Structure formats: structure tokens, C-alpha cells
Amino acid sequence: MLLLFQIVVLVYSVVIHEVSHGLAAQALGDHTAEHAGRLTLNPLKHLDMFGSFILPLLLVVARAPFLFGYAKPVPYNPDNLSDRVYGPAKVAMAGPVSNLALAVIFGLALRVMVETGYSGLFTNLFSYIVALNLVLAIFNLVPIPPLDGHWLLMIALPVRWFGLRTALYRYSLPFLFIFIVFLFPFLSPVIAGLYFLITGQSWQ
């Protein structure tokens, strides 16, 4: 039952993440996601066979310390955005911001429950929602394509650094693999710190 709950939370967390991209694009004048039927919380419209099923299953089988996955990216046309310069970054940031918002909402609810003396099933469930959404938010802020955070890097990089931009896109998969395997564990203190800041509880 707990595993089923974790999978449902993962699915809807990544769906909300993707829908937020589409809503941000729509707010900036692009209706591609709406026309594609992707501005919906119906998970069947968003699920990716590998990212939403195979990858989480592999993590469960491998007894990984965290469950992770992703949905199909919501399409949008940057040429339709009213803000051509910063628009893509705004659309990209909407995803991690939605996960942070979920973490704050459920984290504050968890804090209230604990402070009022409640301790039961919902505290464990809310704790998982907070932790998962913090992982999703922090992971997606990493400045490696195709993660959302790379758009902030693209804006910050001077035009003369075109070679670095090209290399980041060309070797994005190896960079991402190296980050996941060797560097992402070092972000655990950041996630744990945010978890404590929101909930007032230690992340176990």
C-alpha cells in the first residue's frame, strides 16, 4: 500500500510539474500545450513509459534511497512567447516552483500536525510528499540540459561563450549521468535543510 501511495505521489508531482510549464507558456502567449490537450491533471496525457514506469520500478528493485521519475515534456513554442529573451527561462522555472509550492503546502500542514500533537499515518504520508517534491525541485534546478535549470545558465552565459553552450547540449547525457551518479548525493544536505526549514522536523 505504501509503495502504491509513493508511486501515485510521484506521478502527480511530475504531472503538476509539467502542467505548470504549460500554464506559464500560456500566460506568456503560447497555447501549444492547451491545443495538445496537455493542460490537464489526467496522468494518462503525460506519462512516459520509461520515466514514469520503468525508471521508478528499477529504483524500487535496486532499493534506491529515493524514488524518482519524470513525465513527457509539455510542448510549447518559444516563438509565440511575449517575452522572447527571458520567456523560456520563466516557462522552465514554473516546474520546479510548482514542486517547491507543493513541498511548502504539505510541509506547513505537517508542521501544524506535529505541533498540535498529531502523530499517525498522515504525518508519514505528508513527509514523503514534502521530501519527494524537494528532490524534484532541486534536481530540476541543476543547470544541465534538458533539466529546467539550464535555461538560467543559458541566460547568464555571455554570447562569446558559444562553445560552452554547444558542448553542454552536445554532451548533456554524459554530464547528466555523471551528476546523478557522483554529484547528486552531495545535494542531500541542501534538501535536508529545506525540509527542516519548512516542516521543523529532521529529514530521516
The residues assigned a catalytic role are 18
Kindly report, residue by residue over 52-91, the tens digit of the pLDDT.
777 777 777 777 666 677 788 899 999 999 999 899 999 9
Domain interval for residue 25: 2-199
Q: List the grid coordinates of 7.
A: 508511486
Cβ-based neighbours of 203, under 8 Å, separated by 6 or more:
131, 191, 192, 195, 196
Kindly report, residue by residue over 13-52, the tens digit of the pLDDT.
999 999 999 999 999 999 999 999 999 999 889 888 877 7
Provide the mean pLDDT of the chain.
89
pLDDT exceeds cutoff 70 at 11: yes
Specify if 131 maps to a domain: yes
Within the chain, what is the greatest distance between any pair of CA atoms?
Answer: 58
pLDDT exceeds cutoff 90 at 149: yes
Dihedral angle of Cα 85, 102, 20, 188, to the nearest 10 degrees? 50
Task: Give the number of domains in the chain.
Answer: 1
Terminal C-alpha separation, the chain: 20
Specify if 157 maps to a domain: yes
Specify if 138 maps to a domain: yes
Specify if 38 maps to a domain: yes
The region, left, alpha or beta by phi > 0 then psi within -120 to 50, assigned to residue 64 is beta
Specify if 204 maps to a domain: no
